[in-house]
Amino acid sequence: MDRFKGWKQLHWPEYGAELLGTAFNLFVGFSIIIFDFGKGLPMERLIPNPSIRLLINGLIFAGSGSLFAISPLGKLSGAHLNPCLSLAFWVQGKMHKLDLLGYMLGQFLGATIGTLLVVSLWGSYAASVKNGMTLPGEGYALWYVFLAEVFMTFTLVLSIFFFLCSRRLMHWTPFMTWLLVAAMVWLGAPISGTSLNTARSIGPALVTEFWKDQWLYCIAPPLGALLAVGVFRLLSMGKLELLTGKLFHVPNYRCIFKNVKIPHRLPRA
């Protein structure tokens, strides 16, 4: 009975929101990749320049995540949608261990479900772009691809942390991440596929059953996130602190994060 009560006290609505948000983000993101680059679809003829199509990809892919962040479900969970970001919040002391595991479970399941939906909808068009998998770019050494993923994830997490330290900037975090991730997709996709997110890579790899070089996306983004935590602590020198663990914090939504420094509604005991 005590074990059953313990399961009930976990924050299932937040974990479910992360699952739905990750599935939504990848469904939209992979769909625009397929629409822009799928073999036999018209975008290659309409917009011959692949760089312009990559920019469109980045704006819509990243935009779907930012849109979810300001939605009711995003306001509930905080819209991490990324186990590397959740890991960074946990290391920084903003998440309970069980919540970290719940968020990661939701994110990986959501990534897999989102990929399955894309494959079911787009069929052979999805297969023509390897179902949205992240893969090293042709002509780039693996060490270079690895460092690119570390650097991009580091930049993303550190930028989020600094925005969430400021009452003036924190509400602009989804807008900032939209533009930043869009730019990273535009510039970084030819190098590494711009993962930034282990769940985003594992979902399509699992559905496609293709694992070549996927170890890179299991190590580099988490490493970049952990480096961002270390650099944030070094630069802030204890003078800056994360105000919340949400990308878009609204006081009247319950907040399960630790050490929140702005008004919020506590979960029921």
Domain range for 81 = 11-236
Q: Is-contact 228 154, C-beta < 8 A? A: yes
pLDDT number for residue 86: 98
Q: Is the pLDDT of residue 6 over 60?
A: no
Instruction: Look over the chain and give the mean of its residue pLDDT values, rounded to a whole number.
Output: 94
What tens digit of pLDDT does each residue of 137-191 get?
999 999 999 999 999 999 999 999 999 999 999 999 999 999 999 999 999 999 9
The CATH number assigned to the domain holding 23 equals 1.20.1080.10
Give a yes or no: residue 257 inside a domain. Answer: no
Q: pLDDT at residue 4 above 50?
A: no
Could you give phi then psi for residue 45, rounded to 5 degrees? -80, -40
DSSP per-residue letters across the chain: -HHHHHHHTS-HHHHHHHHHHHHHHHHHHHHHHHHHH-TTSTHHHH---HHHHHHHHHHHHHHHHHHHHTSHHHHHH-----HHHHHHHHHTT-S-HHHHHHHHHHHHHHHHHHHHHHHHHHTHHHHTTGGG---PPTT--HHHHHHHHHHHHHHHHHHHHHHTT-TTTGGGHHHHHHHHHHHHHHHHHHHH-----HHHHHHHHHHHT--TTTHHHHHHHHHHHHHHHHHHHHHHTTS-----S-SS--TTSB---SS--S--BPPP-
Residue 193 belongs to some domain of the structure: yes
pLDDT for residue 113 is more than 60: yes
Looking up tokens 């629409």 gives: 35
Structural domain count of the chain:
1
Residue 268 maps to a domain: no
Report, as an integer, the average pLDDT of 95-106.
97
Query: Is residue 261 one of the residues assigned to a domain?
Result: no
Sign of CA pseudo-dihedral 79, 177, 223, 259? negative
Domain annotation covers residue 260: no
In this prediction, residue 239 carries a pLDDT of: 85
Statement: residue 33 has pLDDT above 70: yes
User: Does 236 have pLDDT greater than 60?
Assistant: yes
Q: For 1-7, what is the mean pLDDT?
A: 50
Distance in angstroms (rounded) separating the CA atoms of residues 5 and 11: 12
Evaluate if residue 66 carries a pLDDT over 70. yes
Asked which of 89-98, 190-199, 205-214, 256-265 is least confident by mean pLDDT, the reply is 256-265
Q: Is residue 241 part of a domain?
A: no
- What is the number of residues in the chain? 269
- Greatest alpha-carbon pair distance for the chain in Å reads 63
